[in-house]
Structure 1
């Protein structure tokens, strides 16, 4: 029986932006090298995954569709601010639910950026209009366009446990079409099961070989394995002393190199948030412009600790 008197994980922690529960100075990160600007195209998705970190689904429109004009405005701001951005990323929800997805990608590619689109490669991407647009983008811009496919596990049963019956086969059909169209692919998987990193990569390597996918399972940039972000797990808070204890530079943390643009339902304008993992947290909303988004980010959330800083390490002692 569950102990109802037990404190929830992280009780008393992550309450003060500037101080940890024990009064230490909370670590913060400065935007030192803005390399990637993300756009959340909207939280609507064709499926509802069991552990979606932003609860995307066919009915969740908490983040509404961005438009090509809104994306163009932020691309202008990149130039105005002199940000050395290399890559424009699009995430969701399912980006191909947004009817402006092809135009948004083309705008970024025309300005010389690399473009990364996160997708489940299922029905929204496979609509004739989207396939025609992707074929044209590949023809015009080649490997500067990459689609990162969400494939939680190389075992269809495990993937379908997360994303629903038949989802693996539908994603595989989309990946097969992308392969035949010559469109560059990478994969994003999850560390939700007991497999070691080596076993997971070996399983994906066999899967890629079997299907003729030109994806390197050993390259973390081509086969990304994300840790599970469980808010029920106890994690330590990150203090300024942790950088030295862990021998980690704050410049390696994601919010040192990226920001994400979102548009909330009912808002007149988009906002810039500190992190792709925290689109709903008011504390991590930095303002409407890239200029406002250049401020420090205080690591006042469990995801900051578990996902971005620790990776299994501990800053005790």
Structure 2
């Protein structure tokens, strides 16, 4: 679902790579990651969103319903399966699209909370979250589960100029209004942002720290799980393939990679049942669809995509806290 130009650039930059799931273009054994410590189960609530971002990795928009709305009835069997399998998952996370576009979002959160899980919601904190009915639902959940919920707000940059360049004029202001509402009602917040091409991570975190200080947001700018920063997505950059020898060369463990600790459930348009994917970043790559149950999706994941190298192994990306 990448747009045509970006897809063509990616293919050109990585010509001949990421073809065989087990062997790299150079004939070396491709690295894989086993599900060794399941901690987070993600649900994509649907790709519909109230805005269209310039570089959305999942192409969310007001018209993209490639991933349709999940329902509470579809979420609940997975919560039960976690317990049946004995997986040590502690966190249920919701992403989109914009999760609060989904009419069953409060119900899905409630199901996860009632089952004893922590809940993480990725949101832009804009109009869908700020509807009176949604606010009322969140405040009702907070009566019993306030400290079990965290809202990770998409703040693409600590400056209004660069945030709005990604999300549209006035988006920064509307997101801050949502964050202020969450702050004033005592909800836990985190932020997902990006490191702009012209700055390093230290500079980016300093910028976010200043933003939090200005608005009295109780968010740690230095903690990677509280201010999650991703590199800018440059689809023209050549990406190295990850081999089994890379772990020792990089002094890194497969357990550090996101697919060692999480899976994501989606519902494709026209599908009879949801599907379990290896990764939140690869919703449209069919080779990363692992089955319809968690048990079927418990096998190892071959790192056969540029995102595996750029964002997870080399970039250290993680979508969980």
Q: Give the conservation status (yes or no) of the 8 Å contact 1:229–1:307.
A: no
1:11-63 per-residue CA deviation (whole Å, 9 max, x = no partner) reads: 00001111100111100011011000000000000000000001000000000
Which residue pairs with 1:96 in the alignment? 100
1:66 aligns with 2:70: yes
Which residue pairs with 2:115 in the alignment? 111
Out of 250-259 and 191-200, give the one that drifted further: 191-200
1:81-136 per-residue CA deviation (whole Å, 9 max, x = no partner) reads: 11100100000000000010001001111111110000000000000010011111
Q: Aligned equivalents of 2:221 and 2:249: distance in 1?
A: 31
Q: Aligned equivalents of 1:30 and 1:145: distance in 2?
A: 28
Q: Aligned equivalents of 1:229 and 1:35: distance in 2?
A: 26
Q: Aligned equivalents of 1:142 and 1:96: distance in 2?
A: 18
Question: Among residues 251, 262, 274, which one is paired with 2:255 in the alignment?
Answer: 251
1:254-295 per-residue CA deviation (whole Å, 9 max, x = no partner) reads: 000000000000000000000000011110000000010001
- Would you say how many aligned residue pairs link Structure 1 and Structure 2? 307
Question: Among residues 177, 182, 205, which one is paired with 2:181 in the alignment?
Answer: 177
Q: Aligned equivalents of 2:178 and 2:61: distance in 1?
A: 20
Q: Aligned equivalents of 1:306 and 1:228: distance in 2?
A: 10
Which residue pairs with 2:56 in the alignment? 52
Q: Aligned equivalents of 1:48 and 1:184: distance in 2?
A: 26
Q: Give the conservation status (yes or no) of the 8 Å contact 2:31–2:302.
A: yes
Q: Aligned equivalents of 1:146 and 1:310: distance in 2?
A: 27
Which residue pairs with 1:227 in the alignment? 231
Q: Give the conservation status (yes or no) of the 8 Å contact 1:260–1:276.
A: yes
Question: Among residues 300, 304, 307, which one is paired with 2:304 in the alignment?
Answer: 300
1:166 aligns with 2:170: yes
Unaligned runs of 5+ in 1: 313-317
Q: Aligned equivalents of 1:151 and 1:140: distance in 2?
A: 28
Q: Aligned equivalents of 1:272 and 1:229: distance in 2?
A: 25
Which residue pairs with 1:151 in the alignment? 155
Taking structure 2 as the reference length, the TM-score comes to: 0.94
Q: Give the conservation status (yes or no) of the 8 Å contact 2:197–2:232.
A: no
Over aligned residue pairs, what C-alpha RMSD do you find?
1.2
1:9 aligns with 2:1: no
Q: Aligned equivalents of 1:193 and 1:179: distance in 2?
A: 30
Question: Among residues 127, 133, 146, which one is paired with 2:131 in the alignment?
Answer: 127
Q: Aligned equivalents of 1:138 and 1:72: distance in 2?
A: 20
Q: Aligned equivalents of 2:310 and 2:233: distance in 1?
A: 8
By how many angstroms is 1:192 displaced?
Answer: 2.8
